Amino acid sequence: MADEAGDTESAQRFTVIYDACRQRVWAYAASRAGHHAADEVVSETFAVAWRRLKDVPEPALPWLLGVARNVLRDNYRAEARREAFKAELRRWSRPAEGDLAEGVAERLAVLRAMATLSEDDREILILVAWEGLSPRDAARVVRCSPAALRVRLHRARKRLLRAVEEPGPGAAPAVRARVGITSEELS
């Protein structure tokens, strides 16, 4: 019986908060993300409020607007990640100069070779070659010194080139270009 009374009180408190604040949270979300996203932001905001009802202070509106702001920020980040992923897919799906079949074969050779590398090698190559980070910035990501990262990057590039050349040397020039292997690194 005591649990039912607590549940009823929680439901009543939530209903009061929802009725008092829903329109203002929606207006805030609409002003930041447009009418099309406002309903979703309100839903997510009040889902958080329900889960954390004991944490909701009085007055609830500032807290709810803070939650809505976080929901919007998370949505923007997710959208940015989706757009970056789509851009990367478009970049990889464009045919290389020349024959389309050559471009597909080169990309397949790179992907197959990457799959043979260790997780550490793949991570470094992806950070530098695909994410465009400088060795200094990539070193921060993997938590090592820039000098250590350069050594690891050099070794990873050599292993990748060897892995690509195993089936045949045809894709090696494309791999060198994609991962930034310089002629000095080949010696």
Q: What is the CATH number of the domain that holds 6?
A: 1.10.1740.10
- Mark whether 106 and 170 lie in a shared domain: yes
Indicate whether 68 pLDDT > 90.
yes
- Mark whether 165 and 99 lie in a shared domain: yes
Residues 6+ apart with CB under 8 A from 5: none
Mean pLDDT of the chain: 81
At which of 87, 106, 134 does a domain end? 87
- Mark whether 172 and 108 lie in a shared domain: yes
- Mark whether 40 and 73 lie in a shared domain: yes
- Mark whether 10 and 72 lie in a shared domain: yes
173 vs 96: CA distance, rounded Å: 12
Q: What is the pLDDT of residues 106-123, one digit of tens each?
A: 777 778 888 888 888 888
Phi/psi for 131 (5° steps) reads: -90, -15
- Beta strand segments in 14-67, E: none
- Mark whether 57 and 135 lie in a shared domain: no
Question: What's the number of domains the chain is made of?
Answer: 2
At which of 35, 67, 87 does a domain end? 87
At which of 56, 87, 118 does a domain end? 87
160 vs 129: CA distance, rounded Å: 12
Cβ atoms of residues 49 and 56 within 8 Å? yes
Q: What is the pLDDT of residue 167?
A: 56
- Mark whether 14 and 64 lie in a shared domain: yes
- Residue 185 structure tokens: 């690194």
Q: Is the pTM of this model over 0.85?
A: no
CATH number at residue 172: 1.10.10.10
Q: What is the pLDDT of residue 5?
A: 67
Indicate whether 28 pLDDT > 70.
yes
- Mark whether 111 and 67 lie in a shared domain: no
- Mark whether 54 and 107 lie in a shared domain: no
- Mark whether 49 and 119 lie in a shared domain: no
Domain extent for 169: 95-186
pLDDT tier for residue 125 given thresholds of 50, 70 and 90: confident
